[in-house]
C-alpha cells in the first residue's frame, strides 16, 4: 500500500474545486454584493444621523438602529475578511 503526500492530495482537491471560473465568479459576485450592502448601510446611517442633527423628522431610535446595523454589518465583513485571509494562509502553508 502506497502512502501519498497529503500536500499533493489536498492541492489537487482544491484545484478540482476551483477549476471552473464560474464558481469563482459567483463567489466574487456574492462577496461584491455583500460589500455593496455594507456600504449602503454605512451611507444610510450617515444620512439618518445628518438628518437628525439638522432637526428633520427623524427619531433617535431610528438613528441608533441604523448605526448599529451599519456597525454590525461592517464587523461581519471584517470577520469574513479575517477568516478568508486565515484560510488562504493555511492553504499556502499546507501546499509548501
Residue ranges covered by each domain of the chain: 28-95
Q: Which three cell numbers stand for residue 68?
A: 448599529
Contact 67, 49 (CB under 8 A): yes
Q: What percent of the chain has pLDDT over 70?
A: 74
Contact 12, 26 (CB under 8 A): no
* pLDDT score of 1: 45
Distance of alpha carbon 11 from alpha carbon 1, whole angstroms: 21
* pLDDT score of 29: 83
Q: Which three cell numbers stand for residue 60?
A: 433617535
* pLDDT score of 72: 95
Whether this prediction's pTM lies above 0.85 is answered by no
Q: Is the confidence at residue 3, as pLDDT, over 60?
A: no
Distance of alpha carbon 7 from alpha carbon 13, whole angstroms: 10
Q: Residues 21-47: what's their mean pLDDT? A: 86
* pLDDT score of 94: 87
Amino acid at each position: 500500500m502506497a502512502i501519498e503526500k497529503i500536500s499533493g492530495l489536498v492541492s489537487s482537491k482544491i484545484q478540482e474545486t476551483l477549476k471552473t471560473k464560474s464558481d469563482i465568479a459567483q463567489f466574487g459576485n456574492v462577496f461584491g454584493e455583500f460589500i455593496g450592502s455594507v456600504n449602503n448601510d454605512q451611507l444610510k446611517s450617515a444620512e439618518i444621523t445628518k438628518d437628525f442633527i439638522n432637526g428633520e423628522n427623524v427619531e433617535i431610535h431610528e438613528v441608533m438602529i441604523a448605526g448599529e446595523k451599519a456597525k454590525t454589518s461592517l464587523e461581519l465583513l471584517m470577520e469574513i475578511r479575517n477568516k478568508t485571509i486565515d484560510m488562504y494562509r493555511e492553504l499556502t502553508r499546507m501546499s509548501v
